[in-house]
Amino acid sequence: MARRVVVLDSGYDSYDTERAILAPLGAEVVVRACDRDAARVAEALRDAEAALVRESPVTAAAIAAAPALRAIVRYGIGIDNIDLDAARARRVFVANVPDYGAEEVSDQALALLYAVVRRVAARDRAVREGAWNVSRHERMYRVAGRTLGLVGYGRIARAFERKLRGCGVARVLVSDPHAAPAPGIEIVDLDTLCREADYVSLHAPLVPETRHLIDRRRLALMKPTAILVNTARGPLVDEEALVEALAAGRLFGAGIDVYEHEPPRRGHPLFGLANAVLSDHTGWYSEESVAELQSKAAAEVARVLAGERPLHWVNPWPQ
């Protein structure tokens, strides 16, 4: 009987890559799209030896109901939809793919920042409606000489820093408890970063301690000319407080790719704000990143099925 690897979320054009990598191990790849439904995940995993997952929740109940389960691999970086403690208790390996998409997500952060800085969306709408030469009605400020604030300093943040340095930013502030001192950056606490940065870009993981990391108090610390960019996880930001700050003009603007609840509901308050530029959690995507992500995720499953530890093991237990 073939070993079963279950894909819990559809969305890719083909799973030939996973099948090619896992077939030599006698594994069959089966797509069972669960559409973020926890009960469907539990049913889908009952006969699985491994799972590949994007957004659907892998709960303690689902793990308990899957006696053969040995590995859960996240297509991506964030692992907040997987119960790590339950997996650890069952000695189920959980792994992610942290070394993909840094160029794409940092490109998206750069695109959102510049769209806000240069009011690209507002100018596009105005021109289509017949307006012309109205720039002074919407002030803009030069990027060169500004201060960049990075909340989190992993691969994506460092790629974004490299790109913004090419645009002439003068200072780079970093708030990250794990960041080591490095030339050209100033490690500061988050409140200092919020007070002094012109651009605050979020690159932190979502864990209980970082939920609403940017709240009403920290938004109030930011300059009225500051711009917030979030390409990490939506719940890092208190969206209600952000809407209030943007609507009141207490921030210049925000570039948002991720939301507290995805997809955001129709008529979300952010949709009516001209100083918010929005995208649909698309920062991770390019044709190259999809190919890289599928092959690296499948390779992690292959390691476990071959009796090895995954390369990016995120729920280690004492040996």
The length of the chain in residues reads 319
Amino acid at 287: E
Contact 315, 296 (CB under 8 A): no
Is 43 an annotated catalytic residue? no
Pair of tokens at residue 160 = 């974004």
Say if residue 5 is exposed, middle or buried (CB neighbours under 10 Å; 0-12, 13-18, 19+): buried
Residues 5, 301 contacting (CB under 8 angstroms): yes
Angle at 149 between CA 145 and CA 153, to 5 degrees: 130
Q: Which of 119, 146, 233, 303 is catalytic?
A: 233
- In angstroms, the Cα distances linking 118 to 70, 142, 277, 278 are 49, 9, 11, 14
Q: How far apart are CA 156 and CA 213, in angstroms?
A: 18
Alpha carbon distance 54, 95 (integer Å): 12
For the chain, how big is the Rg over CA atoms in Å?
21
For residue 164, which of 210, 100, 101, 229 has the smallest C-alpha distance? 229
Catalytic residue (one of 262, 288, 308, 309): 262
Active-site residue, from 32, 158, 218, 281: 281
Residue 281 is a catalytic residue: yes
Q: For residue 209, which of 236, 176, 228, 178 has the smallest C-alpha distance?
A: 236
Element holding 138 (H helix, E strand): none
Active site residue 262: yes
Q: Which residues are catalytic?
A: 233, 262, 281
